[in-house]
Amino acid sequence: MHHIGFFVCSEYEPLDLAGPLSAFNQAVRASGVPTYKLHVISEQGGAVVGIGGLSIETRPYRKTKLDTVIFVGGEIAPLQASNNVAAAKVLAKRTPRIASVCTGAFILAEAGLLDGLRATTHWQYTAHLQTRFPRIKVVGDRIFVTDGRAWTSAGIAAGIDLALALIEKDNGSDLAREVARLLVVPYRRSGGQSQFSAMSQMEPESDRIRISLNFAREHLGESLPIERLADAARLSVRQFGRAFRRETGETPAKAVERLRVEAARMRLQDGTEPIEQIAVAVGFIDPERMRRAFVKLHGHPPQSIRRARRLNAEV
């Protein structure tokens, strides 16, 4: 039996807890054996009140031996409270696998448990996570990310995708597929699938940077050096580079690559164009450059998107 603990703090997000907890419950139901034992835990134990006033009874974390601990998201301030961070450090030392849903990544980050690793969180907080914790390799365009024993997911419903991936890792694809059917959700919404559009993720503050991003999106098939983007924003190259990094959390070149990957992903999902043709159309020049960009951003090549679409069509 695999013991899973859901660590909650005050002002936790109820769906960040309920989604993955329900998935593991359904795994027990579908397998017909006590595959998982679930525990809701907190630093002190007792009732913990979440966002919206929903209260849940918890066990003290020190009294529960676990195989996996999932840190549930919610308001960031309680997650970064010193007592909760200390509890996360203790749990990480004695638990083989650690995970987070949504902003739960912030407690892992504050505890130093994601340093040097790839991780994700809700798209709205990826820039904040990267700025606050520069040693983490934040991947803002993923449903979930696995790096060693650490699993992190995007926000809200993405916790279900994380749980399905964990179930598949523990028990195989047949059980994970059956759990997806019981939950009436897609199976294999792959970890590399975009959680939100690249334009929305970057969310610049100034009109000038927004204009440059819109210009880039409208001219993806063309060469887009920083000089051309700076000219669209009516800024010097030096001013533009600094402002762009400050407002989006990444370099202009990386942002253009992200926009190109997103455009290619949409065409791969929605059409039947040859990959070579898509690569040229969105500005990658050749399929190999597009493949490298997909692997860097998503962890898988573009061909896997069409394979996943076929698998989902078979469910």
Alpha helix (H) residue ranges in the chain: 14-31, 76-79, 82-94, 105-110, 126-132, 158-171, 173-183, 198-202, 207-218, 226-233, 237-248, 252-270, 275-281, 287-298, 303-314
Q: What is the mean pLDDT of residues 275-296?
A: 90
Report if residue 305 sits inside a domain.
yes
Enter the tokens of residue 151.
């699993």
Instruction: Say if residue 53's pLDDT is above 60.
Output: yes
User: What global pTM score does this model have?
Assistant: 0.67
Q: What is the mean pLDDT of residues 98-122?
A: 96
Helix (H, G, I), strand (E, B) or coil at 49: strand
Q: What is the CATH number of the domain that holds 100?
A: 3.40.50.880
Rounded CA-CA distance 271/268 in Å is 6
Q: What per-residue confidence (pLDDT) applies to 124? A: 81
Which of these three, 183, 212, 239, is where a domain ends? Answer: 183
Report if residue 191 sits inside a domain.
no
Q: Which domain holds residue 28?
A: 2-183
Instruction: Say if residue 307's pLDDT is above 50.
Output: yes
pLDDT bracket for residue 192 (50, 70, 90): very low
User: In whole angstroms, what separates CA 237 from the centre of its chain?
Assistant: 32
Q: What is the mean pLDDT of residues 195-218?
A: 74
Please answer whether residues 97 and 151 qualify as being in contact, where contact means their C-beta atoms are separated by less than 8 angstroms.
Answer: yes
Bigger pLDDT: 314 or 253?
253
pLDDT bracket for residue 199 (50, 70, 90): low
Which of these three, 135, 158, 183, is where a domain ends? Answer: 183
Relative to beta strand 137-138, strand 2-7 is: unpaired
Q: Are 227 and 144 members of one domain?
A: no
Q: What is the mean pLDDT of residues 87-99?
A: 97
Instruction: Say if residue 206's pLDDT is above 50.
Output: yes
CB proximity list for 116: less than 8 A, separation 6 or greater: 135, 136, 137
If 0-12 CB within 10 Å is exposed, 13-18 middle and 19+ buried, where does residue 45 land?
middle
Q: Are 68 and 179 members of one domain?
A: yes
Rounded CA-CA distance 263/290 in Å is 11
As for how many domains the chain has, the answer is 2
Q: Are 135 and 205 members of one domain?
A: no
Instruction: Say if residue 44's pLDDT is above 80.
Output: yes
pLDDT bracket for residue 150 (50, 70, 90): very high
Q: What is the mean pLDDT of residues 80-100?
A: 97
Q: What per-residue confidence (pLDDT) applies to 191? A: 43
Report if residue 162 sits inside a domain.
yes
The sign of the CA dihedral 77, 78, 82, 87 is: negative
Q: What is the CA radius of gyration of the chain?
A: 21
Q: What per-residue confidence (pLDDT) applies to 302? A: 85
Q: What is the mean pLDDT of residues 202-209?
A: 78
Q: What per-residue confidence (pLDDT) applies to 197? A: 52
Rounded CA-CA distance 117/137 in Å is 6
Instruction: Say if residue 193's pLDDT is above 50.
Output: no
pLDDT bracket for residue 190 (50, 70, 90): very low
